[in-house]
Amino acid sequence: MALLLEAQGVVFGYPGQPAVLDGADLALWPGERVCLEGANGAGKSTLLQILVGLLMPRAGTVMAFGRERRVERDFHEVRRRAGLVFQDPDDQLFCPTVAEDIAFGPLNMGRSRAEVVDIVKRTLDELRLTDLSDRVTHKLSGGEKRLVTLAAVLAMAPDVLLLDEPTNALDEPTRERLTAILTDLPQAMIIVSHDPLFRRAVATRSVRLERGRIQPIGDGHRITPHDARIARQG
Ligand SMILES: Nc1ncnc2c1ncn2[C@@H]1O[C@H](COP(=O)(O)OP(=O)(O)OP(=O)(O)O)[C@@H](O)[C@H]1O
């Protein structure tokens, strides 16, 4: 089974600040939904950004889809195959309408107009968001924006998903809807979440970022091939 993403001993600090990540190890295997928790400011969003090359670590290694990734051009393919859903939907949605926001990614990837019309329709249908298609994006509610952001990322058919606090500001029915959507998706995912109920419903494994390092948590910790390999290495 092929490892999808892995941070190995990642060290990172913002300029002029102490290291926020200090030897962080996190791996994502096919079929996993790994929930990442940790205090505010622990470095969870930072770690997601490092995995897709939006930030470069001071030390350590990032592996993605079978290869080590070091420089910006190594990450072009990673960002195509790993869809990052940002913490703030307003960082990700910038087109006049919902349909245009969802079309943007596939058009940018070179898909034809006809294909994109089909992708937008199918993606909206699958997430039961068809009614929002012609709505003005910046006038959507916070919960609607979150679902549209997920749709915009899924329209690019990523192999893995990285979701940064996807249940933030969602009401109970919308959170349940998102839980059902995510557990039905075939993609492996890393989900940053402060929400214990959501984590319990969605995670196949949970980890915590603390003092710059990743610790396993909860009874739900499932032995992965990665853990088995580490155990074999003693
Ligand atoms: N662009 C930046 N420049 C300087 N410092 C930053 C920057 N982005 C984040 N930080 C700081 O780095 C630390 C880690 O931030 P990060 O957003 O990764 O934490 P987080 O665990 O995702 O937090 P939260 O749960 O509050 O979203 C915080 O102290 C934050 O203030």
Reference 10, options 67, 68, 66, 65; nearest CA is 68
Q: Which residues of the chain have pLDDT under 50?
A: 220-221, 223-234
User: For ligand 1, what atom is nearest to the CA of residue 194?
Assistant: 25
Q: What is the pTM of this model?
A: 0.90
pLDDT at 123: 96
pLDDT digits (tens, 9 = 90+) for 183-197: 999 999 999 999 999
pLDDT digits (tens, 9 = 90+) for 34-67: 999 999 999 999 999 999 999 999 999 999 999 9
List the domains of the chain with CATH numbers.
Answer: 5-231 (3.40.50.300)
pLDDT at 1: 65
Q: What is the DSSP string of 73-122?
A: GGHHHHHHHEEEE-SSGGGT--SSBHHHHHHHHHHHTT--HHHHHHHHHH
Ligand 1: distance of its center to the CA of 126 in Å?
33
Q: 41 CB less than 6 Å from ligand 1?
A: yes
Ligand 1: distance of its center to the CA of 162 in Å?
17
pLDDT at 217: 83
